Structure 1
Amino acid sequence: MLPYLIKSTTASDTARLVIVASDAHFRANKLKGVANWPSILGKLNDEEYCTASVMKNRYELSKLLQVMFVRELASRLLNPTPVSVTNLVMKLMVHVGKALLARTTEMESHALVHPAVEPSERDRHGRYVSCVEVAEESDYALSEERKEFSRRLWEETIEILAKIDPRVNQIISQHLLAR
């Protein structure tokens, strides 16, 4: 999509890519020993790693990976960016008591549409947005360890995608900064 998003950019508006995340990433396990794993995605797919205790945390872990991947993508776009990338948080109402405080359909739809139409999209580029406000990600997503983890996650994902579609590497070299 990146070439098409860049092509749709105008002098007054950047294209926007809004990825729906979740505050569930705050509850993700912290991937102990990840620096020693030869492959992040390989390890997460390994039968040995897929124990019952880890599997119950899979949704949260997938959201943590998503938050980190989107941050990495945003950091690789040119500055000023032709495409504004945002992680949009949708809060999960998991407890019955919280259901009473759940947002209406109108409020929830406003949260979804806001980052796609708000004029100051560059202020949110690469950021995590909750309730139409820039918010902070989990401590792990902001940690020093995250930088290396995000880089490896990016490289492994791009390697897989390039095997599926050889245009991936060309698009990356043409539109993203090398790191």
Structure 2
Amino acid sequence: MRLSFWDFLKNQWRKQQPVVKVDLAGKTVLVLGANTGLGFEATKHFATMNPERLILACRSQSRGQAALEKLKAATGYSKAELWLVDLSDFESVKNFGDKFERDGGRLDILVENAAILSDKYEGTKDGWELSLQVNDLSTPLVSFLLLPAMIKTAQQHATLPRIVVVSSEVHYWVEIEKRVYENPDIIKTLGSSEYCTNSIMQSRYMLTKLLNVFFVRALNARLGASTPLVVNAVNPGYCYSELRRGLNPIMAFIDHLMELALAFTTEVGSRRLVWAAVSEPAQPETLRGGYISACEVEEVADFVLSPQGVKLQDHLWDELVDILGKVDPRVTANVNQYLSPVAA
């Protein structure tokens, strides 16, 4: 599938569906990046569905605490928990995984919403370009570390947990260059300071959302039809968001004008996250590995479906597991225990 600018405009102008409501009694919901924007609005919706536990995973103690107070004031829900995690720091993510092993219990819904948009190179202490680490390394790392809890939840409570990875329609507008995908170390190349020139960084956010799609499809392919877990990617659409606060002044001004003309509210965008997390309770299998936009499963970009994209997907998966397995050995152990190789 290709997405033209006209298609994008039509998607922005179409009537948006109301939020889906289900009963989450007894269940645990965890939202990454929950203190602001789409994550907070989605958390507000989840709070109205009576979950047993609602965990707001945030980077900042002060902002997270403020979000808890705002959530209680807006919904009356008083059981929300603040857990700290910094996705730009692998050690913080590992500690988050440790905490969930100790204190998490069951996990029914994981919404991986945290992301960074940056148009200039910034390195992390782990040696990666910042947005690549947050959006495409630490996000999968959380999935791998929490995978046992979700499988255990399914087995003990006869449920079908879901992982929702927030991607974007911008994945249609970018491809990985041939000179990169012919390199045996694709992810390492993409995350290096040498590769991340100013011109490359102009499309970096789109690339990270493409990698989100590849990750979801690769993970789903290895879950197997009998594994009690649904993973999907969701496009929240173009809405008001603090995500773009890192843009340079000129791009920020252009984006502001676009928001005035085209964007819908953050709350409307959050409805799509909620839909991916709780909709279709009678036939959740239809959402396995799906790319969800406007509350329906849509075809991904032609590049993803091409022979090169299929080959690239497996290569990216192998490299990702290798990289993250060195960060935390639990990744390798969980992949070997819970996932199956893809047939050649």
Report whether the alignment pairs 1:148 with 2:315: no
- Change in Cα spacing, 1:55 to 1:174, as seen in structure 2 (3 Å) is same
Contact 2:175 2:303 in 1 (8 A): no
Q: TM-score, normalised by structure 2?
A: 0.48
Per the TM alignment, residue 60 of structure 1 is displaced from its structure 2 partner at its CA by 0.5
What are the Cα deviations for residues 117-176 of structure 1, in whole angstroms up to 9, with x where unaligned? 111321011010001100111111111111111111111111111111112111111110
Per the TM alignment, residue 19 of structure 1 is displaced from its structure 2 partner at its CA by 0.5
Identify which of 143, 154, 171 aligns with 1:9. 154
Report the counterpart of residue 207 of structure 2 in structure 1: 61
Q: Which segments of 5 or more consecutive residues in structure 2 lack a partner in the other structure?
A: 1-145, 240-254
Report the counterpart of residue 158 of structure 1 in structure 2: 321
Q: Distance in 2 between matches of 1:109 and 1:42?
A: 32
SS of the counterpart of 2:273? helix
> With CA pairs under 8 Å and 6+ residues apart, which has the higher RCO, 1 or 2?
1
What are the Cα deviations for residues 34-53 of structure 1, in whole angstroms up to 9, with x where unaligned? 44212101221334422222
Report the counterpart of residue 257 of structure 2 in structure 1: 96
Q: Distance in 2 between matches of 1:173 and 1:29?
A: 30
Matched length: 179
Q: TM-score, normalised by structure 1?
A: 0.89
Bigger Rg, structure 1 or 2: 2
Per the TM alignment, residue 33 of structure 1 is displaced from its structure 2 partner at its CA by 3.2
What are the Cα deviations for residues 65-99 of structure 1, in whole angstroms up to 9, with x where unaligned? 11111100010002133110010112225583564
Q: Distance in 2 between matches of 1:116 and 1:107?
A: 15
Please provide the CA RMSD for this pair.
2.0
Q: Distance in 2 between matches of 1:5 and 1:43?
A: 32
User: What code does the residue aligned with 2:231 have?
Assistant: V
Report the counterpart of residue 233 of structure 2 in structure 1: 87
Name the % identity.
39
User: What code does the residue aligned with 1:9 have?
Assistant: A
- Change in Cα spacing, 1:111 to 1:48, as seen in structure 2 (3 Å) is same
Contact 1:17 1:85 in 2 (8 A): yes
Contact 1:6 1:83 in 2 (8 A): yes
SS of the counterpart of 1:9? helix
Report the counterpart of residue 125 of structure 1 in structure 2: 288
